[in-house]
Structure 1
Amino acid sequence: MKYRYLGASGLLMSRLSLGTMTFGAPDWGCDEKASHAIIEKYIDFGGNCLDIADIYAGGRSEEIVGSLMPELNRDGLILASKCSLPSGPAVTQFGANRKQIIASCEKSLKRLKTDYIDLYHIHVPDPVTPFEETLRAMDDLVRQGKVRYTGSSMFFGWQLTKAQGISAMHNLEKMVAGQYIYSLIHRELERETIPAAIDAGIGITCFSPLGGGLLTGKYRGQEKPGKGTRAFFRTQVDGPRFWHVNGYRTADIVAEVAERCGIPSEKLAIAWPLGQKFVTSVIIGVKTVEQLEANMAPADWDLPQDVWDTLEERTRPEEEYMTWYRRFNNHRVFKASEFHDGKADLITTG
């Protein structure tokens, strides 16, 4: 396993994280025994980050992880959980307000059977609660020792910049992580969100590298997965994320490249984001140990540069004028000097 530092922090995270959304999920997930076997095998591979959320399987996912916690080396693990999506039936049980953040954290700690959460994310932006309230509540959790690092999920670039600015102004804990759907299908982040994250010292962790299974190649030629399959159940929740024209086109590209270079489609899809310096970790979700073993190959393996370049070029989003001109202007500025800070490319080129 290779490791990367998370954003501007000193936290070393394995470049493959284990997603736990399948743990305890009825119909398409796995039970406690299978979940524990997956966690143990993942740790054997050298993985150190379990990606969790209070809403996964209605809290059952955290309970399953917590029931194994006494048998694990807690200091060697990064538990990354989230709050702000609806966590119960009451009208107050959602959002990034102080009441919900504090209550969600306390419940997650109990379910996980731990005294602290290593990385705590705001799961989705809250359009009502002031950033000052959200960030102060997260800072309080850090000061109380219940959270080590803070992060966000699905924030736009302007929201990341605003949040970091408010934290700097009020001496609050700054976020070090941003979790996003980022894959060969979803690259719209490259326009502004990723440059903003890099500039703000925020490391990117990305989920759904396989596009809900679409990029494995096993659904090639299908407009939707067959009834009764795990993918079918998942499409009831997040199918529109992947099963669309661009998703089908990308799946065909990955399959063609896989056939030509002799590298399995799923290995290409998981390894591709890791070719980006701004990506700290790719989150993989499985329901069996066998799936885990198949998907762990990129843990210490990198795509050949020519294959990475081919995938990058063929799945690159259409470039509109602002992005094109920024790239054109940057080239003009950078070529004037013998060398420049490579970070500037990531921040400004897009």
Structure 2
Amino acid sequence: MEYRRLGNSGAVVSAYCLGTMTFGDEADEATSFRLMDQYVEAGGNFLDTANVYSAGISEEIVGRWLKGKQLRDLVITTKGRFPMGDGPNHVGLSRKNLREALDASLRRLGVEHIDLYQMHAFDALTPLDETLRFLDDAIASGKISYYGFSNFLGWQLTKAVWTAKAQGYQPPVTLQPQYNLLVRDIEHEVVPAALDAVVGLLPWSPLGGGWLSGKYKQDQMPTGATRLGENPKRGMEAFEKRNSNAATWEVIGAVQDLAEARGASMAQVALAWVAAQPAVTSVILGARTTEQLADNLGAASLTLSEAELAELSAVSKPQMADYPYGEGGINQRHRKLEGGR
């Protein structure tokens, strides 16, 4: 397993992180324990959870698994922001909600300290300075080591970074966005913002909801042991939209061809591509079974060549208008005038 710096911090995490959103829902406690054991045995040291995953049950399962273990190198991240109660102050990035959410996460995890605390989404109602001051205080009090964000836009990340610098607060170290060969829009603004701030990306849904693993077939309704197969109403509209897009199957075909050529699974190829992208610190794996996790972890041993990466990047290149991002956009024209720098 490769290890990388956690964004701009001094902490080190494995290039593949174990996500726990399935714990307590699609994976029972016994299966969840096996998944964490399997992941750590493979060299992984980074667990990602959130207070809203299975309404707190995911954190509780992780906490019971941690009990009595001496895993000094393990890095735990959780999140706060979304409702964990019905009251008007049980949501958002206010000091009041985050203080209660953080303390509740500490109790469920059974720990006195969380390594990385992430804001699950932007909050337009709470002053950004209030959120950042709380996080700086949480670091000073020893409750967290670092903080980061999830699902922020490029301007939101940049504003947070520079507000923290202006106020003398500790800066964020990570951003957790959706990123895969079928969803690359963050490359327009979010990736450049992360590179500029030296913030590490922790991509979620690197397999595009399972599409890049090859589990879905064109114009065939999902069946069997898949999320859509077991619950067709879940995301069927999104399935039909993606299924009818010719570009989807072009990308999936390229992944399949490369997987066959390399003797790897499609999931391993798709994961290896994400792990190789600029600013990516650790790719979040979301397995429901030990078989799925074993296959996903195989990506840690797969290194794609520059030509292979370029081939996948070309076939999955996101569509954009000429202005301001495209080949005819002002940024691209200036780059050519400046010698491509």
Q: TM-score, normalised by structure 1?
A: 0.89
State the distance in 2 between where 1:235 and 1:9 align. Answer: 42
Structure 2 vs 1, CA of residues 235 and 168 (structure 1 numbering), >3 Å: closer, same or farther?
Answer: farther
Any conservation in 2 of the 1:204–1:281 contact (CA below 8 Å)?
Answer: yes
Query: Gapped runs of 5+ residues in structure 1?
Result: 336-344, 346-350
State the distance in 1 between where 2:278 and 2:77 align. Answer: 21
- Choose which of 152, 158, 162 in structure 1 pairs with 2:159: 162
Structure 2 vs 1, CA of residues 31 and 182 (structure 1 numbering), >3 Å: closer, same or farther?
Answer: same
State the distance in 1 between where 2:146 and 2:335 align. Answer: 34
Could you report, residue by residue, the CA deviation over 1:10-52 in whole angstroms, capped at 9, with x for unpaired residues?
A: 1211000000011101xxx111111111101100111010000
The letter for the 2-side match of 1:7 is G
- Choose which of 67, 74, 78 in structure 2 pairs with 1:77: 74
Q: Is residue 206 of structure 1 aligned with residue 211 of structure 2? A: no
3-state DSSP of counterpart to 1:79: strand
Residue correspondences, number: 333
Query: Gapped runs of 5+ residues in structure 2?
Result: none
State the distance in 1 between where 2:239 and 2:8 align. Answer: 31
Counterpart for residue 21 of structure 2: 21
- Choose which of 92, 99, 106 in structure 2 pairs with 1:109: 106
Structure 2 vs 1, CA of residues 233 and 53 (structure 1 numbering), >3 Å: closer, same or farther?
Answer: farther
- Choose which of 115, 133, 137 in structure 2 pairs with 1:136: 133
3-state DSSP of counterpart to 1:124: coil
Counterpart for residue 176 of structure 1: 173
Could you report, residue by residue, the CA deviation over 1:277-334 in whole angstroms, capped at 9, with x for unpaired residues?
A: 3110100011222211111012243112222111100101124322234234224424
Structure 2 vs 1, CA of residues 238 and 149 (structure 1 numbering), >3 Å: closer, same or farther?
Answer: farther
Any conservation in 1 of the 2:4–2:13 contact (CA below 8 Å)?
Answer: yes
The letter for the 2-side match of 1:2 is E
Cα distance, 1:240 vs structure 2: 5.9
Could you report, residue by residue, the CA deviation over 1:223-282 in whole angstroms, capped at 9, with x for unpaired residues?
A: 542277434457755566665225444333323443455432111111111111311010
The letter for the 1-side match of 2:64 is S
State the distance in 2 between where 1:271 and 1:237 align. Answer: 28
Q: Is residue 62 of structure 1 aligned with residue 20 of structure 2? A: no
Counterpart for residue 297 of structure 2: 296
The letter for the 2-side match of 1:101 is L
RMSD of Structure 2 on Structure 1 (CA)? 2.1
Structure 2 vs 1, CA of residues 240 and 120 (structure 1 numbering), >3 Å: closer, same or farther?
Answer: farther
Any conservation in 1 of the 2:268–2:302 contact (CA below 8 Å)?
Answer: no
Q: Is residue 258 of structure 1 aligned with residue 259 of structure 2? A: yes
State the distance in 1 between where 2:173 and 2:238 align. Answer: 26
Counterpart for residue 327 of structure 1: 332
3-state DSSP of counterpart to 1:312: helix
Any conservation in 2 of the 1:212–1:242 contact (CA below 8 Å)?
Answer: no
Counterpart for residue 148 of structure 1: 145
State the distance in 2 between where 1:60 and 1:184 align. Answer: 31
The letter for the 2-side match of 1:251 is I
Cα distance, 1:121 vs structure 2: 0.5
Q: Is residue 215 of structure 1 aligned with residue 215 of structure 2? A: no
State the distance in 2 between where 1:242 and 1:303 align. Answer: 29
3-state DSSP of counterpart to 2:115: strand
State the distance in 1 between where 2:228 and 2:215 align. Answer: 11
State the distance in 1 between where 2:17 and 2:313 align. Answer: 23
Q: Is residue 32 of structure 1 aligned with residue 29 of structure 2? A: yes
Any conservation in 2 of the 1:220–1:251 contact (CA below 8 Å)?
Answer: no
